[in-house]
């Protein structure tokens, strides 16, 4: 079974401040919006939960009057600047940001032979991997796997990209053995866009009733383990839907 984990709000909580500042600094460097310090008050406020870095950047830039053409021309430089700024401003140790029990859950999952762990996140890949390494859980997610905000601005594209990378010459990893795990309605929407299952957690900013579109909702890592044990049982019995 392929388990595709979101990062912020799912595996980590409170680790996004330096990431947001890095993006704002990069926007100033490449497009001249905001200020050099990356102050939040210097740019329009937009929704960020469940969205990709470049989608967030594009909305901010459009609100600041930059044209779509100008935005597209600078995206490569924006990616590079954002990664560079994150390396400068991120805390060296993010271990206190790991959601309670998630480290132990990943250890358990890594020991189950039939499970593949990967990421589906709106973070640019270098930032995603740096963030998890600083948190002490990055070793659970193999290089060359998963899908990131650097692969597509549209989060709905990411599960299919992750399945393609996890597949073999015969085709992508099968939908019926893939589960997205996240904390926002957009995580659920991206799973549905690829017709895969989704488990949601309330460890982020959304309540259980707001995540009711998922196949299961957990309020803790312990409850998530129970849901995953159920998913493994469904997979082994061949009763997962396509």
What's the pLDDT score for residue 241?
A: 44
Tokens of 112: 């189950």
Q: What are the CA-CA distances from residue 15 to residues 29, 100, 156, 188, 222 (Å)?
A: 23, 14, 23, 22, 22
- Within 8 A by CB and 6+ apart from 62, the residues are 68, 71
Residue-wise pLDDT for 6-51, tens only, equals 999 999 999 999 999 999 999 999 999 999 999 999 999 999 999 9
| Mean pLDDT score, 78-88 | 97
pLDDT > 60? residue 235: no
CB-based contact 241:176 (threshold 8 Å)? yes
HSE value, Cβ hemisphere, 13 Å, CA-based, for 142: 11
Residue whose C-alpha is closest to residue 96's, from 134, 59, 40, 130: 134
Tokens of 108: 């358990």
Number of Cβ within 10 Å of residue 185's Cβ equals: 17
Residue-wise pLDDT for 170-194, tens only, equals 899 999 999 999 999 999 999 999 9
pTM of the predicted protein model: 0.93
Tokens of 107: 């250890």
């Amino acid at each position: 079974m392929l388990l595709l984990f979101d990062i912020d709000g799912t595996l980590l909580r409170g680790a996004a401040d330096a990431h947001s500042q890095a993006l704002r600094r990069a926007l100033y460097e490449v497009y001249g919006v905001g200020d050099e310090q990356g102050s939040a008050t210097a740019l329009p406020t937009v929704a960020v939960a469940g969205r990709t870095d470049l989608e967030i950047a594009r909305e901010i830039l459009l609100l600041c009057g930059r044209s779509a053409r100008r935005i597209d021309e600078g995206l490569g430089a924006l990616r590079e600047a954002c990664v560079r700024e994150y390396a400068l401003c991120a805390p060296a140790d993010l271990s206190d940001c790991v959601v309670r029990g998630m480290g132990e859950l990943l250890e358990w999952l890594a020991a189950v032979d039939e499970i593949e762990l990967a990421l589906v996140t709106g973070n640019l890949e270098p930032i995603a991997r740096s963030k998890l390494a600083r948190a002490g859980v990055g070793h659970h997610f193999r290089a060359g796997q998963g899908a990131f905000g650097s692969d597509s601005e549209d989060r709905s594209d990411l599960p299919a990209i992750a399945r393609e990378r996890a597949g073999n010459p015969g085709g992508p990893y099968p939908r019926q053995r893939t589960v997205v795990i996240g904390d926002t309605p957009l995580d659920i929407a991206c799973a549905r866009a690829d017709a895969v299952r989704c488990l949601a957690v309330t460890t982020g900013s959304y309540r259980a009733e707001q995540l009711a579109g998922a196949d299961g909702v957990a309020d803790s890592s312990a409850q998530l383990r129970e849901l995953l044990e159920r998913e493994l049982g469904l997979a082994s019995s061949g009763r997962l839907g396509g």
